Every structure is written in structure tokens, then in C-alpha cells.
A and B are shown apart, each in its own frame.
Chain A
Amino acid sequence: MDALERLISEFAKLPGIGRKTAQRLTFFLLKEDGERASSLAEAILALKERIRYCSVCFNITEEDPCPICRDPRRDHSTICVVEESGDLMVIERLGVYKGVYHVLGGVLSPLDGVGPEDLHIRELLERLKEGVREVILATNPTVEGEATALYLSRLIRPLGIRVSQIARGIPMGGDIELADEITLTRAFEGRREVEG
């Protein structure tokens, strides 16, 4: 395969990029001077070399444990459980949450065959042995996100730990990553204990 076709097909594998866009990006880089291409190539390599997952919370980080897990000013007895690092970043930007996080790395999903063993659930249960008082479930308000929250609350409540759930302000079908700040802040403040 020639260099041109190779780059087009690599771009086309990225989410949200079709063949046409891949071609446009490739031709753009072709016309630009060499500096832009090498800076892009370096940025991609640096991403894979330096970024890793925090061994405690599975957030993406350049240092392990991540800055949040190492911060003594944060409340380590409260863990907010999110699906992906992107959700964590959105919540961090609000600045209202002072606890720590746990990134599941996805949600339970019957149609994708994603079960409990495929997420960082066992690691979460391990963390709960160390003086955790509250777990806040911040999965997305989708069928899969709700099922995951339900599954986790059934596992965690018997351990005598308070389990609450955010996302009251976010309607079903919505995406935490796309929520506006006011809605998400309210969702956090209005979290309620999970019953049942």
C-alpha cells in the first residue's frame, strides 16, 4: 500500500471519520510543510508513551497514581464512579466535587457482551475495604448506565457503605459529557441515596 492510501485508511479507522474526511485530512497534511506533520506524529507518539491508566482509579494520567489519587486535600472516603475518563474530566471542571474517582472503563452492556468482569469492578470492591464511606454513582442515564448503577448498588450496599446516584437533572438518553455545567452541578448536589 502506498503512503497516501495508508494514511487515508488509518484516519478512516478513527471514530466519526469517514473515508471522505480521511482523504481531506490526508491531502491537507500533504500540502502543509513538514513541520505540521512531524508535530502531529510526535503528539500521537507522546500520547501512547506517556499516558497510562492510574493503578488506583483507572483515570488516564502521566504519573501513577494520578494527581487526584495522590492529593491529600481530597476526601478519600468518597468515591465517584464514572464510565470513562471523559466524564471525570467534565465533573472536575465544575470544581464542586472534592472526593476521588473510580473509572469503570465502560458499562455493562448485554448487546456488546460486556459483563462485570470486563469492567474495573473488582478493583473498586478492593478499594472499598479502605475506609470508604460513600460511593456516588455517576454513570450515564442510559439503559446500560442505569443497569450498571443498579448492579453496583446491589454489590456495595450490603457492605454498609452509603450509595448515592447523581444524574437527576440529566434526562434519560442524555450524555454526561455533553451536559451543561448548571445541569451537572445540580445533578451532583441533588444526588440521592439508592434504594431497593
Chain B
Amino acid sequence: MPIRRTEGIVLRSYPFRDTSKIVVLYSPKFGKLGLLAKGARRPKSIFGGSLEPITYVKVTFYRRENRELHTLSQAEVVEPFREVKEDIDLLGYASAACELVLKLTPPESPNPSLFRSLSHVLREMGRRRKGEVLLWWFELRAAEALGYRPEFGRCVLCGGPLEGASFGFSAEAGGVLCPRCASDGDVPLSPGAVRLLLRLQTLPASRAARLSISGPTGEQARGALRALLSYRTEKKELRALDFLHKVAHGP
């Protein structure tokens, strides 16, 4: 069994057998990896808090060919993203970003650009104390890294310029549609909402964090992103978004 080293972000971890944990790590080198951490739930475990979700770690593991689960031998925390974990809403949005990676990536298929965007968004969420707008930023970066960057600059069907007062968004077509190409089933987008999505797509996270997403413009952009996500996840809602609804609703 060859020994491998990599950095990565813990997407989630769950108890396994009596004292162990299974960790799903997203790494730039190996993509999404399943790791078995023996004895990790014992309070004196050598892994400490390094296997908690939303933690940037450096790990050493034994790679087992053609297996879904490899054996973790060492882990150390590089960045705990503490600010994100100390705010229940930020925790929800950061979890949603991790859940996206869990749901949209196949196992062990490396995508360094997606990894960079994930580490970036978690860091910026904590730094800027912004959740939803940065999740949107990440959704668009993830779509690009995974090969389905939605088009917001011109009509995705006819290639024509976006002229008029209202457009449509179709996840299936892969972008915004001009008034001539749009049909009733599309998500309505105002010119302002298209501009907002275009800026989210092109600005760095630190500047995207400052964009306003309130009011009808934000509502339409939210609708377009929801349609994009639902299309890509085959209508599976993100559990973390459900969690955020419940938190807003109270006990």
C-alpha cells in the first residue's frame, strides 16, 4: 500500500463502527477521497479536531488501489475556518458549498481549480462575514470548473446581444436567453439581474462579497441559480439550504 500525502478540505465526516470515523476529503491532487480514521472518536485520538467538517488539513494516508476507502494515518490542521463555524448562518452557507462539491463531483477525480475556489470561498465567508452572496459566487465558479459555465454575456441560443427589458434563464440551454429566444418555462431575468450574475461570475470573491443581493434583482438571480443547481443535481435540494430555512424559522 503506497503512502500518499496531500492537503485537502474535510467536506464531511461521520461515525463508523464504535470509535472510528469516515472522512470525505476534497483534495487538489486526488479529488474527492474517502478516508477511514481508526479510533478518531476517542478523546485522546491523534487526529484531534482535524477531521471536523470545513477544515483545511494536511494528511498522510495509505492508498488502496481500486478501493473506495483508504486508511488515514496522519492529519494536521492547516486552517480551521473558525469564523465560519462560530456563526450558525455562515456555517450553513459554508456547508452548502461543501455539499455542492460532495454532490457534483465524482470520486477521485482531481480538479485543482474547483479546490482553489472552495478554499477561497470558505476563507472569504469567514473574513467578510457574508454567506449567501459568496455561495452564489462559488456556485458559478464550480459550474465553470466542472465544465458548464453558464453564459450571461449574450443569448446562449442565437448568440445575439441582450437587448430589451426582460430575458430568460434556462439551465438546460446553459445561460441567458434574449426576448426572442426565451419561452414561458424559463426563469425571468431583468437586465439588472443579468448584470449581477455576470459580475458574480467575473469578480474575485473579495469584491463579489460586496455586491447587494437584496430586492427583486437578487430574487431573480437566486431563481436562476436555483434552476442551475436543481438541473445539475437532478432536482436534489441542498440539505444545507433546507437547514438555513429551518434556522430562520426557529424552533
Which of B193-251 touch A at CB < 8 Å? 239-240, 242-247, 249-251
Are A115 and B45 in touch, CB under 8 angstroms?
A: no
- Asked if B18 is at the interface (CB within 8 A of a chain A CB), the reply is yes
Question: Closest residue to B240 on the A side, CB-wise?
Answer: A110
CB of A137 to closest CB in B, whole Å? 14
| Other-chain residue from A170, A173, A183 in contact with B47 (beta carbon distance below 8 A) | A173
Size bin of chain A's contact surface: 20 to 34
| Other-chain residue from A115, A146, A151 in contact with B249 (beta carbon distance below 8 A) | A115
Known: A143-B85, A179-B43. A173 touches B243 (CB 8 A): no
Q: Report how far A16 CA is from B12 CA in the complex, Å.
A: 19
| Other-chain residue from A114, A119, A178 in contact with B42 (beta carbon distance below 8 A) | A178
Q: Report how far A125 CA is from B250 CA in the complex, Å.
A: 12
Known: A16-B18, A117-B246, A143-B53. A110 touches B85 (CB 8 A): no
Of B66-74, B88-96, B112-120, B139-147, which stretch is located at the interface? B88-96
| Other-chain residue from B19, B42, B44, B243 in contact with A110 (beta carbon distance below 8 A) | B243
Are A173 and B246 in touch, CB under 8 angstroms?
A: no
- Asked if B48 is at the interface (CB within 8 A of a chain A CB), the reply is yes
Are A173 and B41 in touch, CB under 8 angstroms?
A: yes
Which of A109-127 touch B at CB < 8 Å? 109-119, 121-122, 125
Known: A172-B48, A173-B47. A112 touches B251 (CB 8 A): no
List chain B residues, Cβ under 8 A from A171: 43-44, 48-49
Are A183 and B243 in touch, CB under 8 angstroms?
A: no
Are A172 and B49 in touch, CB under 8 angstroms?
A: yes
List chain A residues, Cβ under 8 A from B240: 110-111, 113
- Asked if B51 is at the interface (CB within 8 A of a chain A CB), the reply is yes
List chain B residues, Cβ under 8 A from A190: none
Known: A111-B12, A150-B88. A174 touches B247 (CB 8 A): no
Are A147 and B88 in touch, CB under 8 angstroms?
A: yes
List chain A residues, Cβ under 8 A from B45: 173-174
Are A175 and B43 in touch, CB under 8 angstroms?
A: yes
| Other-chain residue from A114, A174, A175 in contact with B243 (beta carbon distance below 8 A) | A114
14 A-B residue pairs with Cβ-Cβ distance under 8 Å, sorted by A, are: A110-B243, A111-B98, A115-B247, A116-B246, A117-B249, A121-B251, A122-B251, A146-B85, A151-B88, A171-B49, A173-B47, A173-B49, A174-B42, A174-B45
Q: Please give 18 more A-B residue pairs, beta carbons under 8 A apart, in addition to A111-B239, A173-B41.
A: A110-B92, A110-B96, A110-B99, A111-B240, A113-B239, A115-B245, A116-B251, A125-B251, A143-B54, A146-B85, A150-B88, A151-B88, A171-B43, A173-B49, A173-B50, A173-B51, A174-B42, A174-B45
